[in-house]
C-alpha cells in the first residue's frame, strides 16, 4: 500500500529524520544496509530514535524501542505509537532476532516503512507478518530517498553486482595526465600512458579519500598501478579503507609497487579482459560497491560496457596540460546531480 495522498507533512518530516539517523550508520554497517527508526506518539512528537550502528549490531528498531522504554515517561506498549522505519522490519533470524516480532510483541499498531527489504530472506515477509498481527503497515514513504541511501545494498540484492562509481580528475583542458614522452610533444598526441601528474588540490584529494571510505572496494588498471604507484588507501579521512583491486593484463606487476608491497589486506588481481567476471568476483566477496579510479583505459572499458552507476569528475580549473592522456567522455545517460567547488577544483557528480 502506498502512503495516502496527500501525505501528511508531519509523516514526511518524521521519515526524513529516520533517513538522517540511518545515514549515521555509514560504512560501519557494511554489508548490511543503513537503517533508521523514529517512534512518535499519535500527535507526531518524537519519543525515541535509533539506527543500525554497525554490522552485527542491533537493528534500528531494537535501538529505538530500547530508547523508548528507557524513558522515565515510557508508554506501557507500542499501542497508539507510530513507528517510522526506513527499511521494512526484518522477519528472519540473522545476527539478531526478527524486528517484526519485536514490534508485534510490544503491541505495535502502526508502522510506516520507506521501502521493502530486497533481501530475499525478508522481501515483504516483515510487512506481511506485522499486518497478520493486526498492525497497520504503510510502505513507500520517501522510498526513492531510502533506496538511494542504500543503493549499494539494493544493487547487490537486486542485480547481483556491485554499485559502480567511476571517478577521474582532469585538467581544465580535459587531460588525465601529461604525455609520457617529455616535451616537445606534438599537439595531436593522445597517448594512453601518461606521466604521473598531480591534478587535484589538497581539499579535493581529501574528498576522494572520504569517497574511498564510502565504497567497499577500489579498482585501478595495471597501467595506473605501474605509472602512478598509488596506495589506494583512505589515510586522509576516518573510516574503513576499501579493498584494493587491480585489473591486470598479461604482464606481471613489479612486486615493489605500493599495492603489492603493502599487501595487508591483500590487493586482489582481476582479469582486465573480462569485466563481468571481475564484477562477479567482487559480488562473490560480499563487496557491494567499487570506486573505479582509472586510468583512461579502465574507465573507458567500464563506460563502453555500460557498467557504471555514478560518475564523479574533479576538474582543476587553473591547470592546462595541452597534451597527454585524454579524459573519458561523459556518456549521454549521465545526469548532473550536483557540483561543488573546492578551491581550484570543480567537483561534478553524475548519476543515471
- At its nearest, how many Å lie between ligand AOF and the CB of residue 29? 6
Q: Three cell numbers at 60?
A: 534500528
- At its nearest, how many Å lie between Zn ion and the CB of residue 57? 11
In the list 91, 99, 116, 311, the residue contacting Zn ion (rule: CB under 5 A) is 99
At 350, is the secondary structure helix, strand, or coil? strand
Contact indicator for 115, 89 with CB cutoff of 8 Å: no
Alpha carbons 66 and 48: distance in angstroms, whole number: 8
- At its nearest, how many Å lie between ligand AOF and the CB of residue 78? 15
Catalytic residue among 49, 61, 110, 293: 61
Task: Determine if 87 is a binding residue for Zn ion (CB under 5 A).
Answer: no
Q: What is the largest CA-CA distance in the chain?
A: 80
| Residue closer to Zn ion (CB basis): 121 or 343 | 121
* C-alpha gyration radius of the chain: 23
Q: β-pairing, 82-87 with 110-115?
A: parallel
Burial of 1 (0-12, 13-18, 19+ CB in 10 A): exposed
Number of residues engaging Zn ion in binding (CB under 5 A):
3
Helix and strand totals (H; E) in the chain: 11, 16
Task: Determine if 90 is a binding residue for Zn ion (CB under 5 A).
Answer: yes
187 secondary structure, DSSP code: T
Q: Which residue is nearest to ligand AOF (CB)?
A: 94
| Residue closer to Zn ion (CB basis): 59 or 125 | 59
Please list, in sequence order, all residues whose beta carbon lies within 8 angstroms of the beta carbon of residue 339, skipping any fewer than 6 positions away: 346, 347, 348, 349
Q: Which of 248, 221, 340, 271 is nearest to 232 (CA)?
A: 221
- At its nearest, how many Å lie between ligand AOF and the CB of residue 74? 21
Task: Determine if 125 is a binding residue for Zn ion (CB under 5 A).
Answer: no
- C-alpha distances out from residue 274 to 237, 270, 278, Å: 32, 8, 6
Cα dihedral 58, 34, 67, 49, rounded to 10, equals -170
Q: 145 an active-site residue?
A: no
Query: What is the helix (H) or strand (E) element at residue 225, kind and residue range?
Result: helix 222-227
- Any bridge partners for residue 246, and if so which? 220, 269
| Residue closer to Zn ion (CB basis): 66 or 329 | 66
- At its nearest, how many Å lie between Zn ion and the CB of residue 25? 13
Residue 52 touches which member of Zn ion, ligand AOF, none, C-beta under 5-8 Å by kind: ligand AOF
Q: Three cell numbers at 83?
A: 513507528
Task: Determine if 83 is a binding residue for Zn ion (CB under 5 A).
Answer: no
Residue 95 touches which member of Zn ion, ligand AOF, none, C-beta under 5-8 Å by kind: ligand AOF
What is the contact surface with ligand AOF in residues (CB under 6 A)?
Answer: 32-33, 35, 52, 59-61, 87, 89-90, 94-96, 99, 117, 119, 122
Q: What is the DSSP string of 252-266?
A: PPPTTSHHHHS-SSP
| Residue closer to ligand AOF (CB basis): 117 or 345 | 117
- At its nearest, how many Å lie between ligand AOF and the CB of residue 61? 6
- At its nearest, how many Å lie between Zn ion and the CB of residue 124? 14
Binding mask 42-81 for Zn ion (x = CB under 5 A): -----------------x----------------------
| Residue closer to ligand AOF (CB basis): 33 or 324 | 33
Interface region with Zn ion, contact rule CB under 5 A, candidates 26-34, 90-98, 163-171, 299-307: 90-98
Q: Three cell numbers at 57?
A: 549490531
| Residue closer to ligand AOF (CB basis): 101 or 344 | 101
Q: Three cell numbers at 160?
A: 547481483
Interface region with Zn ion, contact rule CB under 5 A, candidates 86-94, 170-178, 198-206, 273-281: 86-94
Please give the residue ranges that form the binding site for Zn ion (CB under 5 A): 59, 90, 99
Residues assigned a catalytic role: 61
Amino acid at each position: 500500500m502506498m502512503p495516502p495522498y496527500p501525505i501528511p507533512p508531519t509523516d514526511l518530516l518524521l521519515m526524513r529524520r529516520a533517513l538522517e539517523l540511518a545515514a549515521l550508520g555509514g560504512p560501519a554497517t557494511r554489508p548490511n544496509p543503513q537503517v533508521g527508526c523514529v517512534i512518535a506518539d499519535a500527535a507526531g512528537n518524537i519519543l525515541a530514535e535509533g539506527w543500525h550502528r554497525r554490522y552485527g549490531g542491533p537493528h534500528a528498531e531494537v535501538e529505538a524501542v530500547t530508547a523508548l522504554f528507557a524513558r522515565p515517561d515510557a508508554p506501557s506498549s507500542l499501542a497508539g505509537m507510530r513507528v517510522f522505519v526506513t527499511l521494512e522490519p526484518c522477519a528472519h533470524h540473522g545476527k539478531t532476532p526478527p524486528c517484526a516480532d519485536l514490534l508485534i510483541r510490544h503491541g505495535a499498531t502502526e508502522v510506516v516503512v520507506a521501502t521493502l527489504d530486497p533481501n530475499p530472506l525478508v522481501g515483504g515477509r516483515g510487512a506481511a507478518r506485522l499486518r497478520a498481527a493486526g498492525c497497520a503497515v504503510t510502505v513507500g514513504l520517501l522510498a526513492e530517498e531510502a533506496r538511494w541511501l542504500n543503493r549499494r545494498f539494493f544493487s547487490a540484492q537486486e542485480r547481483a553486482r556491485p554499485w559502480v562509481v567511476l571517478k577521474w580528475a582532469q585538467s581544465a583542458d580535459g587531460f588525465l595526465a601529461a604525455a609520457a614522452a617529455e616535451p616537445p610533444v606534438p599537439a595531436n598526441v593522445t597517448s594512453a600512458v601518461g606521466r604521473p601528474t598531480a591534478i587535484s588540490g589538497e581539499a579535493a584529494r581529501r574528498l576522494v579519500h572520504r569517497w574511498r571510505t564510502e565504497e567497499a572496494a577500489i579498482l585501478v588498471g595495471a597501467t595506473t598501478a605501474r605509472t602512478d604507484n598509488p596506495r589506494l588507501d583512505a589515510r586522509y579521512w576516518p573510516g574503513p579503507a576499501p579493498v584494493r583491486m587491480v585489473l591486470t593484463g598479461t604482464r606481471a606487476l613489479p612486486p615493489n609497487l605500493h599495492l603489492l608491497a603493502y599487501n595487508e589486506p591483500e590487493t586482489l588481481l582481476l582479469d582486465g579482459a573480462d569485466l563481468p567476471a571481475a564484477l562477479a568476483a567482487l559480488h562473490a566477496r560480499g563487496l557491494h560497491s567499487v570506486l573505479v579510479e582509472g586510468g583512461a583505459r579502465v574507465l573507458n572499458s567500464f563506460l563502453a560496457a555500460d557498467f557504471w552507476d555514478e560518475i564523479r569528475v574533479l576538474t582543476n580549473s587553473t591547470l592546462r596540460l595541452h597534451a597527454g592522456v585524454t579524459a573519458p567522455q561523459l556518456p549521454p545517460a549521465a545526469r548532473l546531480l550536483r557540483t561543488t567547488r573546492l578551491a581550484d577544483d570543480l567537483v561534478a557528480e553524475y548519476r543515471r
